[in-house]
Structure 1
Amino acid sequence: MDTSDLFEFKQDQEFSKLLHHDNYIDLTTAALEIARDDQPDLVFDSVHTWIRQRASELSSRVALAEDDRSLIQAVVECLAKEHGLMGNNICYHRAEGSYLNHVIENKQGLPISLSLIYMAVGKELGIEIQGVAAPMQFILRYETQAGPLFIDPYLKGAVYNEEECLIRLAELTDLSKKELSRLLKPATHREIIIRMLMNLKRIHEEQQDYQKAWNVQRRLFALSPLSNAHKKDLAAYSFKIKQLSLSIELLESCLKSCPESEWNSIKLMLQKAHSELAQWN
């Protein structure tokens, strides 16, 4: 593969919008486009239909909600209680916990994938539920006149006010509540997709599935083409899956832009790639 082909995602219309710096995309479809890397025959319609069905179930309940908290509790009751969506630690080690079709089927997933489902159902209802890339755990934010409410889909849709949310996050991190409060702003669509990709990269690396890790890293590099770290990681995965010419091209590009402190490690990687390529030729 030539480096110019790394940025081609012709089948992925929503993901491609991010490459052109569009601020808003259909997050559900973009997440499914990522899942399709691992499931080439994935049909998106079943996920979109499930989301519309949940919105239909909720429409009258939402309309009759007495206040904002009651409205959010109705969403939680439907998705977490009636349809059983929740977190499971095993999802941190399996890619299926990031794929919306599997999350819906298995009723468990990572915080970010569960959150995307809540956001999608909310969007169908005309309710803006926003993602928050909080440290350690992705959560949701819903604005009210009395202040924001936060939802933790991983914990069966636990609902917090801001103070309660800060206490919960402080238990998971070493950060103070003051530091955490600055991190509770809504995440951009780009930030959400990058966080999802980073989760998948970690899982594939842990499982030593370097082809799948390469697929994810290619997307991360496409989103941040000036990042030497992403370019170097893509070169490393390219070496592992025997795309040696690509690995060499990426490493040579790294040498032109990386800090001098990284030269030795990159030159060593280049030496190994050239040596391996010579054995193939």
Structure 2
Amino acid sequence: MVIFFVAPSLLLFSYSFWTASSFRIVPDFVLTNYLSSIQSLLFLKVTLNALLIGLVTATISVLLSLPIAYYLTYVTRSKVIFYLILITWFSSYLVRIYAWRTLLGTNGLLNGALLQLGIISTPIEAFLFSPFAVGVTLVHIYLPFAVLMVISAMSEIKKELIEASRDLGTSPLGAFMRVVAPNAAQGLIGAFMLTFILAASDYVTPQMVGGSSGQTTGLLIADQFRKTGNWPLGAAQAFIMFALSILLYLIITALARAAGLTRSRKSTTTLTQDK
């Protein structure tokens, strides 16, 4: 882990304080790259777009994963659906993107079905190259990650606890909020954050199905490394996104703690000592 993750990250972090001159990296310790990034309207715009894409994708993915994970954990022991979820990882990332381009195009399946049903008279071009297309495609790609993490979290909760709460007159929503959510909170937060990071950093999908609305921070960072050769600026922008992800995690954790879904490490330690 130190060799393959920590060391490269530290090297990239050091690059963010250096400067680029004539396609050369000059080891100067300056904050120019960070200041120029946060003062750039383009960077702020695409970063906001990336954050919105990540938040929407993560929220929808986690919400969809809850009934799927509940069904696979407590209702059926069949592994067929579970294996079908895993099989999606064997299909090419680009193939799935092109599949959605075909489905959402003016001559695609969705427009064709709506035309046949008489709901529309002409194909809707807004299905493709729009925020809608980006959201649908990203949810399809990253939903399996959320499902597997939520299944892992729910598998630690005994079904008898949920049944007991229902026997005491708790509604299904109440049983989820009082039994499932507190015990699976860390897994739900983990699923949300993983999906958010993957979606917010994805620049291929928004570019291919989002059109003019598909520019994200990931694409901007990639251009700094591939086209302009400004590695220090790209490194600084990458760590700004990293810092925003950490900030989001802290906010979500604080909200979950305030709602009583999770306990602070200090209170958990106190409860353990009392026992």
With the length of structure 1 as denominator, give the TM-score of the two structures.
0.28
Q: Per residue, is there more helix in 1 or in 2?
A: 2
With the length of structure 2 as denominator, give the TM-score of the two structures.
0.28
Q: Per residue, is there more strand in 1 or in 2?
A: 1
Q: Higher relative contact order at CA 8 Å, sep ≥6: structure 1 or structure 2? A: 2
